[in-house]
Structure formats: C-alpha cells, structure tokens
C-alpha cells in the first residue's frame, strides 16, 4: 500500500482512474478523515491539511487523536509454524505469548544491519533485492554475493546458507 507520513500519522494513497484523482484516508484513528488531489503535490498538501485540521478538531473537542488499541489480537498461522514457535519459546524458557511479543517488538524497531558474505554453490539464489553489489553474479558458479542481513537474522541466515550448501564468511 502506498502511504504518506506527516506528524507521526499515516495516510493511504489510491487513484481513481474514472475521476482522475488521487485520494486517501487518515489511518490509525477512530474517526474518518479523507483527502484528495489531482496531483501528488495536491494530495500531499491535502493530507497535511487533513492531519492539521484533525488535530485542531481533537484539541477543541477534548478527544484523543490516536486510535485506541486493546493490545490483543488473533493471528492465524500454520500448525507447523505454531509448533516451531512453541518449541522456540520452550527453548528460551518463556511462554508463547512472551516469545511472540519479543519477536514483534524487535520487528517494529529499526534493524541494525550487519554484513555477511554468502558464496553460492548451486542454483538457489538469494532475493536480488538483498544484493549489496551492483554487478549481476552468476549463481551456481561460486561467485561471491554480499548481502546485508539484520543482526537478529544472522544466525538463521547462516543456518539456511549451510543447508543450501553455501559458505558464510
């Protein structure tokens, strides 16, 4: 989904071809606030104005501008993933809930990347979007590929690379 950001608020972005207009709504609030514009600049200005007007409205009516969240939600996952989460939680000596909370807390933080070098030996290749070097290596030829991997995912990446027959340096 395309979004706009302003003063900590997020707005959706969509386009109506028949009307030839961009439009969106302010996300993460309990109310409905829409905006539109015929160009990206107009849409952005309308979004900023909508946020500013909404904050003024909330102040004048003594109401909270943020959406209220309960802190609880349901998620559907495969039984295998559920088992793997339960096993990881047990290994860590914590509940499934505590494990999932920890993982989600880490996932929403800004990752601190670390660099590792994976050397491919077969046709299985990493996603090209992860490539750190501009040249296009030929996978399966032993060509070195430099990837940026977040520190929290490094152990998993090394394990996966090993299963694929890759060397990690």
Residues 60-89: pLDDT tens digits? Answer: 999 888 877 788 888 898 999 899 998 988
Q: Are residues 145 and 167 in the same domain?
A: yes
User: Is 135 a member of any domain?
Assistant: yes
As a whole number, mean pLDDT of residues 124-148 equals 50
Domain count for the chain, please give it: 3
Residue 98, pLDDT above cutoff 50: yes
* pLDDT tier for residue 168 given thresholds of 50, 70 and 90: low
User: Is 82 a member of any domain?
Assistant: yes
- Domain extent for 14: 2-60
Q: Are residues 129 and 149 in the same domain?
A: yes
Q: Are residues 93 and 137 in the same domain?
A: no
Looking at per-residue confidence, does 104 or 157 come out higher? 104
* pLDDT tier for residue 108 given thresholds of 50, 70 and 90: confident
Q: What b-and-e string marks burial along 75-93, b requiring 16 or more CB atoms within 10 Å of the CB?
A: eeeeeeeeeeeeeebeeee
- pLDDT tens digits for range 138-166: 445 555 666 667 777 777 777 777 776 77
Q: Are residues 54 and 77 in the same domain?
A: no
The predicted model scores a pTM of: 0.51
Instruction: Identify whether the C-beta of residue 10 lies closer than 8 Å to the C-beta of residue 27.
Output: yes
User: Is 117 a member of any domain?
Assistant: yes
Looking at per-residue confidence, does 36 or 165 come out higher? 36
Q: Are residues 8 and 26 in the same domain?
A: yes
Q: Quick check: helix, strand or coil at residue 6? A: strand
Looking at per-residue confidence, does 128 or 167 come out higher? 167
Q: Are residues 50 and 6 in the same domain?
A: yes
User: Is 157 a member of any domain?
Assistant: yes
Q: What percent of the chain has pLDDT over 70?
A: 73
User: Is 142 a member of any domain?
Assistant: yes
Instruction: Identify whether the C-beta of residue 58 lies closer than 8 Å to the C-beta of residue 72.
Output: no
Q: CA 61 to CA 131: how far, in whole Å? A: 51
């Amino acid at each position: 989904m395309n979004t706009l950001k302003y003063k900590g608020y997020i707005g959706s972005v969509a386009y109506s071809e028949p009307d030839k207009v961009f439009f969106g709504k302010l996300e993460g609030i309990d109310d409905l606030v829409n905006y539109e514009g015929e160009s990206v600049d107009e849409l952005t200005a309308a979004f900023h104005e909508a946020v500013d007007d909404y904050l003024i409205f909330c102040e004048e009516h003594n109401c909270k501008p943020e959406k209220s969240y309960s802190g609880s939600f349901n998620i559907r996952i495969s039984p295998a993933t559920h088992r793997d989460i339960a096993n990881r939680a047990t290994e860590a000596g914590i509940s499934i809930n505590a494990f999932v909370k920890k993982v989600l807390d880490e996932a929403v933080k800004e990752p601190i990347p670390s660099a590792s070098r994976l050397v491919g030996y077969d046709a299985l290749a990493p996603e090209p979007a992860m490539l750190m070097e501009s040249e296009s290596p030929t996978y399966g030829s032993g060509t070195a590929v430099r990837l940026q991997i977040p520190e929290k995912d490094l152990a998993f990446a090394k394990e996966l690379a090993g299963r694929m027959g890759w060397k990690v340096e």
